[in-house]
Structure 1
Amino acid sequence: MVVQEFTVDLNKPLVFQVGHLEERYQEWVHQPIVSKEGPRFFGNDVLEELVLMALFGIFIWTLIEYTLHRFLFHIETKTYWTNTAHYLLHGCHHKHPMDSLRLVFPPTATAILCFPFWNLVAFFATPSTTPALFGGGLLGYVMYDCTHYYLHHGQPSKDPAKRLKRYHLNHHFRIQDKGFGITSTLWDTVFGSLSPSTTGKKN
């Protein structure tokens, strides 16, 4: 009796099919399909939507990351209390950029801020998509924090990490009013705050 090998049906949801390929999976996954249409991952319509919402949440986080860094963390202050608040918020990181103990936002503060962010997401999203959208944003935040720490204390030898490290340290040590993106240069490009070292311009 000949056992027929499992074949992935590209017209059906893929996620729970690919495991059946077993040792043939590596060969299958490295044969690209050149198409602008994305595949369906899940058969359940709600689950399929939730995956897209989570990815959208990560994307939205990158914009929040850029906006906070550029317009809040780099706000100009002059008075005693605003200077003090800014130093605690972000100034200490610029003054002592290699201080590993004050590089990551305190987890307790993050947990507290989750409540208003959850309510904000719930205001704009539907009850069924709020958890995925919020979860995607939270995952984006964790990715940002890990990336930021690595750019300061890791020694990447290959791009894109090596390029991002150079870009971020340029923001700290050379041109502090440009290059606000941490995980990417996307929003710096969109809003015209790309560091001159990236654009090829000289100071």
Structure 2
Amino acid sequence: MRNQDLRSGRSYDLGKMGLKQLWVAYLTHPTILLYFSLIIGCIVAVCYTFNGWVPVLSSIIVMIFGFPLIWYIIHRWIMHVSLLYRMKWSASLWKRIHFDHHQDPHLLNVLFGSPLNTIPTIIIIGGGLGYLVGGFCGFFASIGTAVYMSCFYEFFHCIQHLNYKPKSRYVSHIKQVHVLHHFHYEKGNFGITNYFWDKIFGTYYEDAKARPRSPTVFNMGYTVKEAEHYPWVMLKTGAPPRDRPAGSNFREHKKDCTQHTQKAA
């Protein structure tokens, strides 16, 4: 598939793309290209401020283990709370960082986090932790690691929504678990490639039997009734919130969830 085709609106529908098409879309996407540039910039900055391997390696290790927890906290207690859409000044932010993704889980352009939100978060949290561990050298090493892990997360997040059956048992498993988050019960399975913290906090589940199907799985609680009281997201969208994606593959995924449940039983 040619790159110009991938940039034509709904051609970015992961539900209609294969693995080869994803690689083209992923490697040419402006957000990913920006992340690659930041990683290179951080490597240069680490070399310039280098003061020993201990600060560098310590910062990298802290971020490798810290990133899944940071993601879990942001996903569960920021992206999935109603407070942001109830305030006019933060409604657009909430819409972009997660509501649009749940309304249309296969749309690549809203699957990636906006760099305007992700990069400041990485600099403040990731860079802050790195600086505490290793000074300026650790600051850049930690940011570079966090951006790299973001690229890793984003790619596998795409796989989880892609029209593709993974051969790897691990990838197949994380895809199955994430599909449940989007098409069965949104208040669980907040991880992407790592569900350790879901298991620690009791939000992990592997099959549809473990949780009742949520009526707000596609709108995260921003129903038509809520939109009447807090209209800012609806006004920005230009349409009332939906209880399933447009042109929905909902029946397909409901069938997938049922099959996984039967297999688990």
Cα 1:150–1:115, aligned 2, differ >3 Å: closer, same or farther? Answer: same
SS of 1:129's partner is helix
Q: Which structure is larger by alpha-carbon Rg, 1 or 2?
A: 1
Structure 1: gaps (5+ residues): 1-44
Letter in 1 for 2:143: F
Answer whether contact 2:127 2:140 (CA < 8 A) is retained: no
Answer whether contact 1:147 1:183 (CA < 8 A) is retained: yes
| TM-score, with length taken from structure 1 | 0.66
Cα 1:130–1:85, aligned 2, differ >3 Å: closer, same or farther? Answer: closer
The whole-number CA distance in structure 2 between the counterparts of 1:56 and 1:122 is 8
Q: What residue in structure 1 maps to residue 104 of structure 2? A: 96
Out of 61, 66, 71, the position equivalent to 1:55 is: 61
| TM-score, with length taken from structure 2 | 0.52
The whole-number CA distance in structure 2 between the counterparts of 1:185 and 1:138 is 20
Alpha-carbon RMSD across the aligned residues, in angstroms, is 2.8
Identity between Structure 1 and Structure 2 (%): 22
Aligned 1:109-128 pairs, distance under 5 A: 109-117=117-125, 120-121=128-129, 124-127=132-135, 128=137
Higher relative contact order by CA 8 Å / sep ≥ 6: 1 or 2? 2
Out of 172, 177, 195, the position equivalent to 2:182 is: 172
Structure 2: gaps (5+ residues): 1-50, 213-265
1:134 aligns with 2:143: yes
1:68 aligns with 2:74: yes
The whole-number CA distance in structure 1 between the counterparts of 2:86 and 2:118 is 27
Q: What residue in structure 1 maps to residue 222 of structure 2? A: none
| Alpha-carbon shift at residue 149 of structure 1 (Å) | 1.5
The whole-number CA distance in structure 2 between the counterparts of 1:79 and 1:133 is 34
1:149 aligns with 2:131: no
Cα 1:118–1:167, aligned 2, differ >3 Å: closer, same or farther? Answer: closer
Letter in 2 for 1:147: F
